[in-house]
């Protein structure tokens, strides 16, 4: 088991390299870069001094070098103008658009992104499990139909619309300030208990909004999976032993039905980040989503590259967690080799 | 004697979309203490509904309309109780289930949860009913595993079902059912999914456990061989009604009801004469004139070799041992097989699961690649290596060789009509105009005794036997010469099996076919085959004329197989004492001169005229070496 964990972690390193190469390649696909676009714009107005400064920046960030060299400089395996100084060394790059180092641009947003994603995944699982189990065990009951109906509405409603409605209602009922992840007075304040509570209160709406469609999809899938399992022979065996229905459900069919959901933890993360961009813009949430959007629009390559890599990293960690959980929960995965004899 | 279970006037209705369907109609019988009662019937006869009623496991749609199901515990621990009046999911029914009544099912793999250790699953019933601690439950489980003769009970506690063989899984199921020492055990087709040698082991085990715990057994089965060896009393059920009941002695020696007589006549047995035919309960009428008229002439004279396997070897690579790689294990599915199938004969290929018999059939179909050796086929121009066939020649070979599958349920596409299924071979091979194809599809239906009006239906509206006939019609569509039958009747009831076996026999005669008949059921092979080849662990161990092999088996494995077949005859009971579990299928443990060790060439020796046996010891002694012809 220890070997397995170690091997999985080592495997993440080459995977991350391949992903970073792909990200870098795709970001550079549009012709030109941030600086050359600026130079082209300035040339038309003829401002020589600014152009000289930008040319210096081009050299400074090795944008004048060939593709692979640029890539290697970025990740820190090739000496740039200041020697080895890339992602591996902890230098996350420079954002041209904000004229700041990337870590200063995304730094404050990363913890909030992680918190929001974590809360959303938790929401999806906590809400969908009881409902899915209820729907499957009481198939074709009024409750089942009701949840199915709500679920389809959840799938079909555009997220930003739901966000606006919820913002209005929460403001009306609880007097919650509109937008953001904390009340305005706490912004740029040091962390305190009140600030944390404010963040928690403001997390509710984005979590619901971003999580709704995922929850609805998961309810449907859990219901279908569990229905398949409920009619299997081993469930009858358990019942024939005299188990109570609830004990039986949790011990046997549910254990079998949750495998796909554990395997999904890793996949949920990228879809949550990309799916929440519009919601984040609408609700002005300080997450990386809107930053990524603007970075992509302006070809701010180091910024967008870093954010994409960050999401990829989260995904890999999510996959690792789900693989380890699966190995713990399913002996067929853990002991697959032993059974072959 | 106390009657542990008395069923009186039981009627069960199912509330379906088409109204009420009566599944069990006024059924009465008793199960006395320490006796085995067999409930015999075909699928759909209502025997499983009765077992569900006793367990309180009837589905939602079913309701008990009338009757009593009285359970009287002979130990006196519980007062007699009428199960029919208990709430199915209520605490009183739960208290009985798994405690006083227990059940074992047909399919040992799906009956156990793959995610829990068998120790956990067996001990669970003890925890529920016997008021014991976890450690005590574990101790009880270990004791039960010893009772059902697990090789290493201590280690078995922590194994998962997928690590065990089918026979061991069924033993675990029995241990689970026995742990609370129930008054009544319901065995619902407990051995149908198992190989014949393992079936004999399990039947022996059930008898021993019964003697030890003095419990009653309700044995539900369709196999008269099992009935003859296990039952004290028999009840025969048909369409939800008891047709006849009595002691085993009465029913076997003097069956009264026509249905029971018909059922007994439909079972193949070793005592039948060569030209004696089975009498199916619902015979089918064939009209094969059309196909015999249009058949292409076969250029190979009867008795000439049609298919020849020469030193055929096939290995499979199993998954790697550990996560860090390690040595990949290989399994030899076919080890130096030499086999000739002569034109016009039916060669029976017999062996337990995992013996390589299906692999051999697939190799002849060229569905898998070989590691060594060659397979030759005579298309009228002498024997050719089928691996060398290409393009039009290969298509011609594919037309000549067809396959009938084991499972009639998964071998027909549920989204295609019967018409589409039967026309597909013509489309693949580009034969005929649409009118001719439609005409052929109709005559194929006639050929297997089905109404051509059924052509527009989908497979789900047919019974298992009818589906298998559709599968046979499809195999016959292209006028093949050689048909591989891969256990074509193992998924069917005995009554339907007789029908299919007779159909295959008639078609062979009328259409001049050659069969390779793969089966684990020796009685079936004995009925149909001219010659028998026995396989074990990828090796051919014995081959000869059918009656020579079944009448005078020389190889220890063939002997073990034959002695494990339960015969539907009270005078030919299994000798349970002589059964020695699974040593017969271990080549290293065979006595000399049959002993085979790894890497030894499994060569056949002609011990009697035209009777070949794998005996490496004799070969070295200078006996005549068989050329396996």
> CB burial class (10 A; 0-12, 13-18, 19+) of residue A246?
exposed
CB contact under 8 A, B97 and A239: yes
CB A277 within 8 A of CB A308: no
The residues in B 97-156 lying below 8 A from A, measured between CB atoms, are: 97-99, 102-103, 105, 107, 110-117, 121, 124-125, 128-129
Tell me which chain A residues have a C-beta less than 8 angstroms from the C-beta of B193. Answer: none
- Please determine, for residue B321, whether its predicted confidence score (pLDDT) is greater than 70: no
User: CB-based contact (8 Å) between B235 and chain A?
Assistant: no
Say which of B89, B95, B103 has its CB closest to residue A240.
B103
Say which of B111, B318, B323 has its CB closest to residue A340.
B318
User: CB-based contact (8 Å) between A43 and chain B?
Assistant: no
Closest CA to A252 of B446, B220, B589, B110: B110
Closest CA to B481 of B562, B581, B401: B401
User: CB-based contact (8 Å) between A328 and chain B?
Assistant: no
- Please determine, for residue B622, whether its predicted confidence score (pLDDT) is greater than 60: no
CB contact under 8 A, A252 and B95: no
Q: How far does B347 lie from chain A, in Å, by closest CA?
A: 32
Say which of A233, A331, A337 has its CB closest to residue B322.
A337
Query: Would strands B216-221 and B233-238 be described as parallel, antiparallel, or unpaired?
Result: unpaired
Any alpha helices (H) in B62-152, and if so which ranges?
91-96, 118-129, 134-147
Tell me which chain B residues have a C-beta less than 8 angstroms from the C-beta of A340. Answer: 318-319, 321, 329
Question: Residue B233's pLDDT is what?
Answer: 94
Using one digit for the tens of pLDDT, what is the confidence trace for B431-451?
Answer: 888 998 998 898 888 888 888
- Please determine, for residue B297, whether its predicted confidence score (pLDDT) is greater than 70: no
Name the residue in chain B with its Cα closest to that of A251.
Answer: B116
- Please determine, for residue B348, whether its predicted confidence score (pLDDT) is greater than 90: yes
Q: How far does B94 lie from chain A, in Å, by closest CA?
A: 5
The pair of three-digit structure tokens given for residue A105, joined into one six-digit string: 């641009």
Using one digit for the tens of pLDDT, what is the confidence trace for B201-258?
Answer: 889 889 988 988 889 999 998 888 899 999 999 999 998 999 999 999 999 888 988 8
Any alpha helices (H) in A157-284, and if so which ranges?
159-174, 193-230, 233-240, 245-251, 253-257, 259-263, 265-275, 277-282
Tell me which chain A residues have a C-beta less than 8 angstroms from the C-beta of B329. Answer: 340-341
Q: How confident is the model at residue B628 (pLDDT cuts 50, 70, 90)?
A: very low
Give the position of tokens 């290929």. Answer: B349
User: CB-based contact (8 Å) between B323 and chain A?
Assistant: yes
Using one digit for the tens of pLDDT, what is the confidence trace for A266-289?
Answer: 777 777 777 677 788 888 887 888
> CB burial class (10 A; 0-12, 13-18, 19+) of residue B346?
buried
Question: Residue A11's pLDDT is what?
Answer: 86
Quick one: average pLDDT of A28-51?
74
Question: Residue B283's pLDDT is what?
Answer: 78
In B457-553, the DSSP E strands lie at 482-486, 514-519, 531-536, 539-545
Mean pLDDT, all residues of chain B: 85
- Please determine, for residue B623, whether its predicted confidence score (pLDDT) is greater than 60: no
The percent of residues in chain B predicted with pLDDT above 70, rounded, is 93
CB contact under 8 A, B107 and A233: yes
- Poorest-pLDDT segment among B189-193, B259-263, B539-543: B189-193
The percent of residues in chain A predicted with pLDDT above 70, rounded, is 97
Question: Residue B322's pLDDT is what?
Answer: 44
The pair of three-digit structure tokens given for residue B235, joined into one six-digit string: 């009840």
Question: Residue A28's pLDDT is what?
Answer: 80
Query: Would strands B19-32 and B184-188 be described as parallel, antiparallel, or unpaired?
Result: unpaired
The residues in A 226-265 lying below 8 A from B, measured between CB atoms, are: 232-234, 236-245, 251-252, 255-256
Question: Residue B626's pLDDT is what?
Answer: 44
- Please determine, for residue B470, whether its predicted confidence score (pLDDT) is greater than 90: yes
Using one digit for the tens of pLDDT, what is the confidence trace for B271-293?
Answer: 777 778 888 777 777 665 655 56
Of residues A156 and B455, more confidence is placed in: B455
Question: Residue B506's pLDDT is what?
Answer: 87
Of residues B531 and B193, more confidence is placed in: B531
| Candidate ranges A111-115, B22-26, B281-285, B302-306; pick with highest mean pLDDT | B22-26
Quick one: average pLDDT of B13-40?
90
User: CB-based contact (8 Å) between A138 and chain B?
Assistant: no
Q: How confident is the model at residue B530 (pLDDT cuts 50, 70, 90)?
A: very high
Using one digit for the tens of pLDDT, what is the confidence trace for A53-65?
Answer: 777 777 777 777 7
CB contact under 8 A, A234 and B97: no
Using one digit for the tens of pLDDT, what is the confidence trace for A312-335?
Answer: 888 888 888 888 888 888 888 777
Mean pLDDT, all residues of chain A: 82
Using one digit for the tens of pLDDT, what is the confidence trace for B46-79?
Answer: 888 999 999 998 888 889 999 999 998 887 777 8
Q: What ipTM does this complex have?
A: 0.76
Tell me which chain A residues have a C-beta less than 8 angstroms from the C-beta of B115. Answer: 252, 255-256, 329-332
CB contact under 8 A, B323 and A3: yes
Question: Residue A103's pLDDT is what?
Answer: 82
Give this prediction's pTM. Answer: 0.79
CB B260 within 8 A of CB B222: no
Tell me which chain A residues have a C-beta less than 8 angstroms from the C-beta of B162. Answer: 331-332, 339
- Poorest-pLDDT segment among B126-130, B202-206, B601-605: B601-605
- Please determine, for residue B580, whether its predicted confidence score (pLDDT) is greater than 70: no
Of residues B294 and B476, more confidence is placed in: B476
Quick one: average pLDDT of A138-148?
87
For residues B606-620, one letter each, b for 16 or more C-beta atoms within 10 angstroms of the residue's C-beta and e for the rest, the string is bbeeebbbbbbebbe
CB B84 within 8 A of CB B28: no
The pair of three-digit structure tokens given for residue B481, joined into one six-digit string: 């010469």
Of residues A175 and B155, more confidence is placed in: B155
- Please determine, for residue B186, whether its predicted confidence score (pLDDT) is greater than 90: yes
Question: Residue B287's pLDDT is what?
Answer: 65
Residues A192, A189: Cα–Cα separation, whole Å: 8
Quick one: average pLDDT of A241-258?
88
- What secondary structure does DSSP assign to A53-69, as a single string? HHHHHHHHTTTTS-HHH
- Poorest-pLDDT segment among A83-87, A292-296, B525-529: A83-87
- Which CA distances in Å does B366 have to B343, B382, B385? 19, 19, 11
């Amino acid at each position: 088991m220890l070997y397995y964990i170690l091997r999985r972690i080592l495997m993440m390193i080459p995977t991350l390299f391949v992903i970073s190469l792909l990200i870098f390649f795709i970001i550079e696909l549009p012709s030109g870069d941030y600086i050359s676009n600026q130079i082209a714009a300035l040339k038309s107005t003829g401002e020589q001094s600014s152009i000289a400064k930008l040319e210096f920046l081009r050299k400074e960030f090795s944008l004048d070098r060939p593709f692979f060299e640029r890539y290697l400089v970025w990740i820190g395996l090739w000496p740039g103008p200041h020697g080895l100084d890339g992602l591996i060394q902890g230098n996350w790059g420079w954002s041209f658009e904000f004229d700041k180092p990337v870590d200063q641009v995304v730094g404050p947003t990363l913890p909030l992104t992680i918190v929001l994603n974590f809360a959303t995944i938790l929401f999806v699982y906590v809400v969908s499990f009881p409902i899915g189990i209820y729907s499957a065990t009481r198939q074709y009951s009024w409750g089942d139909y009701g949840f199915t109906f709500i679920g389809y509405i959840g799938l079909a409603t555009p997220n930003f619309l739901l966000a606006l409605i919820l913002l209005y209602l929460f403001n009306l009922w609880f007097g919650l300030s509109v937008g953001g992840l904390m009340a305005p007075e706490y912004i740029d304040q040091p962390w305190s208990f009140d600030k944390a509570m404010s963040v928690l209160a403001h997390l509710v709406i984005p979590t619901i909004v971003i999580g709704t469609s995922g929850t609805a999809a998961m309810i449907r899938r859990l219901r279908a999976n569990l229905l398949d399992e409920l009619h299997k022979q081993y469930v009858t065996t358990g019942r024939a032993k005299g188990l109570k229905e609830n004990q039986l459900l949790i011990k046997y069919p549910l254990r079998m039905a949750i495998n796909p959901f554990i395997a999904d933890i890793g996949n949920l993360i990228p879809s949550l980040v990309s799916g929440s961009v519009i919601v984040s813009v609408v609700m002005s949430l300080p997450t990386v989503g809107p930053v990524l959007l603007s970075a992509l629009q302006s070809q701010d390559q180091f910024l967008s590259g870093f954010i994409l890599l960050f999401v990829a990293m989260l995904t890999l960690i999510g996959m690792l967690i789900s693989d380890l959980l699966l190995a713990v929960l399913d002996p067929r995965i853990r002991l697959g080799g032993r059974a072959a004899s | 004697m106390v009657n542990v279970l008395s069923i009186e006037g039981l009627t069960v209705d199912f509330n379906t979309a088409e109204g009420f369907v009566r599944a069990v109609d006024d059924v009465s019988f008793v199960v006395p203490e320490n006796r085995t009662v067999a409930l015999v019937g075909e699928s759909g006869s209502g025997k499983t509904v009765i077992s569900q009623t006793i367990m309180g496991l009837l589905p939602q749609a079913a309701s008990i309309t009338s009757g009593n199901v009285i359970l009287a515990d002979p130990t006196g621990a519980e007062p007699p109780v009428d199960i029919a009046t208990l709430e199915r999911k209520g605490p009183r029914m739960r208290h009985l289930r798994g405690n006083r009544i227990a059940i074992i099912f047909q399919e040992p793999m799906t009956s156990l949860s793959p995610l829990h250790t068998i120790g956990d699953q067996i001990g669970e019933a003890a925890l529920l009913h016997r008021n014991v601690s976890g450690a005590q439950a574990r101790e009880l489980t270990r004791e039960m595993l010893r009772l059902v003769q697990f090789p290493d009970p201590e280690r078995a506690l922590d194994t998962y079902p997928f690590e065990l063989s089918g026979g061991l899984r069924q033993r675990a199921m029995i241990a689970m059912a026995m742990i609370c020492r129930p008054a009544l055990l319901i065995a619902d087709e407990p051995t149908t999914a198992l190989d014949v040698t393992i079936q004999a082991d399990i039947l022996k085990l059930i008898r021993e456990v019964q003697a030890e715990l003095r419990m009653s057994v309700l044995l539900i089965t369709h196999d008269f061989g099992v009935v003859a060896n296990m039952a004290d009393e028999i009840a025969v059920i048909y369409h939800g009604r008891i047709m006849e009941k009595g002691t085993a002695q009465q029913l076997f020696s003097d069956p009264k009801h026509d249905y029971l007589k018909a059922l007994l006549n439909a079972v193949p047995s070793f005592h039948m004469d060569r030209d004696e035919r089975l009498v199916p309960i619902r015979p089918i009428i064939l009209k094969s004139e059309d196909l015999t008229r249009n058949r292409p002439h076969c250029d190979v004279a009867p008795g000439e070799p049609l298919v020849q396997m020469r030193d055929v070897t096939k290995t499979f690579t199993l998954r790697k041992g550990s996560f860090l790689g390690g040595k990949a294990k290989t399994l030899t599915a076919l080890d130096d097989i030499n086999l000739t199938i002569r034109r016009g004969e039916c060669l029976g290929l017999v062996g337990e699961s995992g013996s390589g018999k299906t692999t051999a059939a697939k190799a002849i179909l060229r569905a898998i690649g070989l590691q060594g050796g060659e397979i030759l086929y005579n298309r009228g121009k002498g024997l050719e290596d089928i691996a060398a066939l290409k393009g039009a020649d290969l298509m011609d070979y594919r037309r000549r060789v067809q396959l009938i599958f084991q499972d009639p349920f998964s071998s027909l596409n549920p989204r295609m009509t019967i018409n589409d299924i039967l026309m597909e071979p013509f489309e693949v091979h580009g034969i005929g105009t649409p009118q001719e194809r439609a005409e052929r599809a109709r005559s194929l239906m006639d050929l297997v005794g089905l109404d051509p009006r059924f052509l527009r239906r989908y497979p789900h509206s047919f019974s298992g036997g009818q589906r298998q006939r559709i599968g046979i019609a499809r195999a016959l569509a292209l006028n093949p010469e050689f048909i591989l039958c891969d256990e074509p009747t193992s998924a069917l009831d005995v009554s339907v099996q007789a029908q299919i076996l007779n159909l295959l026999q008639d078609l062979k005669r009328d259409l001049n076919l050659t069969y390779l008949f793969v089966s684990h059921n020796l009685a079936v092979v004995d009925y149909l085959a001219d010659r028998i080849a026995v396989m074990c662990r990828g090796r051919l161990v014995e081959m000869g004329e059918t009656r020579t092999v079944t009448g005078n088996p020389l190889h220890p494995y063939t002997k073990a197989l034959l002695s494990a077949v339960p015969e539907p005859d009270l005078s030919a009971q299994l000798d349970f004492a002589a059964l020695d579990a699974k040593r017969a299928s271990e080549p290293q443990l065979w006595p000399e001169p049959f002993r085979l060790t790894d890497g030894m060439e499994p060569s056949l020796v002609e011990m009697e005229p035209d009777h070949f046996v794998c005996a490496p010891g004799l070969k070295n002694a200078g006996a005549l070496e068989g050329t396996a012809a």
